[in-house]
Structure 1
Amino acid sequence: MQGDLSVGENKSSITWKINTNYTLPDTFSSKTLIVCDRSNNHGICRLGLTRYPFEITLENVGNTDISLRGEIQFYKEQSTFFTAKFGWTNSHLYIRNSKPLKWPSAYQHVGYDVYYVKLKLESPCYIIDQDCVKDDNAAKTKDTARKETSNITTDLEKLLTESKYSDVEIICSDGEILKCHRLILSARSPVLEAMFSNDFKEVSSGQIKLDYFDIEVVKDLLSYIYTGMPKHLEDNAEILLQAGEQFQMEALKEICGKHLIKKLTKDNVLEYLALGDKYRQQDLKEASLEMIVKNAKDMKEDTKFHEFAINNPELMVEVFRAIVSK
């Protein structure tokens, strides 16, 4: 028995090719694959097939909880046995000792032939690539590394909340002071690094004024700086996009852009198009343009569309080009 994984060009699907014979075990599994879920969490998954009773499983073998949606198809060259869709999955996706997601079938026998199992994820989930895990020991090593990364994140967050060894203060809008560490701030932002490295008043005073941001936004910004992820994206994504531009944090802008893409509607698409353009978040801008193109007939009579066209002539040129190109 041999099983090979191949990732589709658009990274939304992966095909597991299985060359079987009559001596294959009753249960076997694919190599692992790395996926990104709807919350931008990266996880390690593996497809499995059991012959008696017949079932196909999608198993989370990593240390990160993930939430996916999509479908699994089981077929041969000329025959599709079934296609099974699944909704947003959490604990029931074989995460942390829970039961695997199963699709019972009348096909109790998988004999000598070539079979395919195709996993297709629904946007915004996607497949990053095949993992390089070759055996269980390697998988355990990677899992240990991920746990250690999680520990580092926890330790850095503790460093922020306890303010131990802090050497710089951030002044917020209501006068509240947040104590931080200039070494960490400068490592995460070229702008902050420049402020500390050159003759800025922040070097001598040990204070940075961010009183033009709400305090909860500043706390979320610091959460990203110390741990890599803001805690309240739902409330702060738009303003954090601005902060990411100001402090040259491209990864933060990408996180905010992906979150806002999930919230795109016909009512806010013009606003998000302007945000993507202003703060140079290309994914958000392109997704907004795509939605405008799809809904052009409905939107052309909207008063907001006319006002947007008057106030944003350069962007409207891009909108018209996108519509014409489709």
Structure 2
Amino acid sequence: MRRSRRVRFLSDSDIDSGEDDDDNEDDGDGEEGSSAARRWRRRMRMKCLSCKEEYGGGDAGTCRECYEEAGETKEELKREIDDLKSKVNFLRLLSVGPGPAGTSSVTRPCFYDVVLVASDSIDSADSECVSIPAHRAVLTSRSPVFRAMLENEMEESLSGTIKISDVSYDALRAFVNYLYTAEACLDEHMACDLLVLAEKYQVRYLKTYCEKYLMSRLNWENSLPIYAFAHQHGATSLLDAALSLIMDNMDKLSKQEDYMELVEKDPRVVVELYEAYLSKQVNTAASKDPKGVSRYSFQEKRYTHDMHMNNIIEHETTNGTEDPKTVNFFI
């Protein structure tokens, strides 16, 4: 018994040595000695709680590698916890609950000094219920547009109310949440709404984040409306990605479900698509024939381009939407 208690703290090399000593013991011990040695070895080999690998009895609960790893990540975990605590505190500042007589009230003191209101709720009787409280310090630090509004003697600064047009309450809430936490939960519709707000209030990182999300969801079916959307809001990366996809499927463009709708709403975008395609074809031909592009090939592509332009002009004239500016643009 004494021997067993003493060797529990030996190193692995000592254990191996001990095993050799057991093997060389007097045969008189017989099977009893062999059985005791097996029990001793089982007792000395344990499994790490983290990696499940066996380790020597000198370590306490975890192997040395896992223990060292845990020490290295301790500071990272502490920073992450502090970060989460800060975000929770910010979210508490935004928490709004029902107050007396159906009005909104802040559930705990938060000292907000400005409210944001979506335009579709301004004239409604319960507009107070959908207003979002915020802090000038946060808004001005995150958006140059808010800074200009709130640091000068503009209406928003004097009244403490910022009315934001053409936005839903949910989108505005998500926008304010991003300003506080730098996080956003997106679907395609929300990504479009937040990109519009990010462009309007010059929140650059949010705009980039929404662009990347929409690029990850880009396919042939939604390429045309996304191209038009990116064109309207200056989303360059998203525009290039959608344009590349459309160029690769130009023969199917006029058959797209959204094609005629785009012709009616914004024919200039359709014209730009055909011009981009024509330019791409000419450049491709020039790269294959450095001494000069075949005139026949160029004229053939130009004829196809003009046919599409004539179809658009004819559609505009038939629907009575043609005006001098549009005609001059097409010519």
TM-score between both structures, scaled by the size of structure 2:
0.52
Alignment match, 1:155: 89
Conserved 8 A contact 1:220-1:232: no
Alignment match, 2:234: 280
Whole-angstrom distance in 2 between the partners of 1:160 and 1:136? 36
Whole-angstrom distance in 2 between the partners of 1:154 and 1:141? 20
Q: The residue matched to 1:268 in structure 2 has which SS?
A: helix
Deviates more, 1:195-204 or 1:173-182: 173-182
Match of 1:169 among 115, 126, 133: 115
Q: Name the structure where strand makes up a greater proportion of residues.
A: 1
Task: Name structure 2 gaps, 5 residues minimum.
Answer: 1-49, 53-67, 97-105, 122-126, 285-331
Q: CA deviation at 1:204?
A: 1.0
Whole-angstrom distance in 1 between the partners of 2:145 and 2:207? 15
Whole-angstrom distance in 2 between the partners of 1:226 and 1:141? 24
Match of 1:213 among 152, 167, 190: 167
Q: CA deviation at 1:171?
A: 2.2
Alignment match, 1:298: 252
Structure 1 residues 291 and 200, CA gap change in structure 2 (3 angstroms): same
* Structure 2 residue 134 is matched with structure 1 residue 180: yes
Task: Name structure 1 gaps, 5 residues minimum.
Answer: 1-96, 100-133
* Structure 2 residue 185 is matched with structure 1 residue 231: yes
Q: How does 1:1-326 map to 2 (within 5 A)?
A: 137-161=71-95, 163=106, 164-172=110-118, 173-174=120-121, 175=127, 176-302=130-256, 304-305=258-259, 308=262, 310-312=267-269, 313-322=271-280
The root-mean-square deviation of aligned C-alpha atoms, in Å, is: 2.9
Q: CA deviation at 1:320?
A: 4.2
Q: The residue matched to 2:79 in structure 1 has which SS?
A: helix
Whole-angstrom distance in 1 between the partners of 2:226 and 2:86? 34
Conserved 8 A contact 1:160-1:226: no
Structure 1 residues 138 and 263, CA gap change in structure 2 (3 angstroms): same
Counting aligned pairs with the same residue, the percent is 24
Whole-angstrom distance in 2 between the partners of 1:251 and 1:304? 30
Whole-angstrom distance in 2 between the partners of 1:214 and 1:235? 11
Whole-angstrom distance in 1 between the partners of 2:185 and 2:179? 11
Conserved 8 A contact 1:169-1:177: yes
Q: The residue matched to 2:176 in structure 1 has which SS?
A: helix
Whole-angstrom distance in 2 between the partners of 1:156 and 1:325? 53
Q: Mark the structure with the bigger radius of gyration.
A: 2
Structure 1 residues 211 and 307, CA gap change in structure 2 (3 angstroms): closer
Q: CA deviation at 1:135?
A: 7.2
Q: Name the structure where helix makes up a greater proportion of residues.
A: 2
Alignment match, 2:300: none
Structure 1 residues 136 and 196, CA gap change in structure 2 (3 angstroms): same
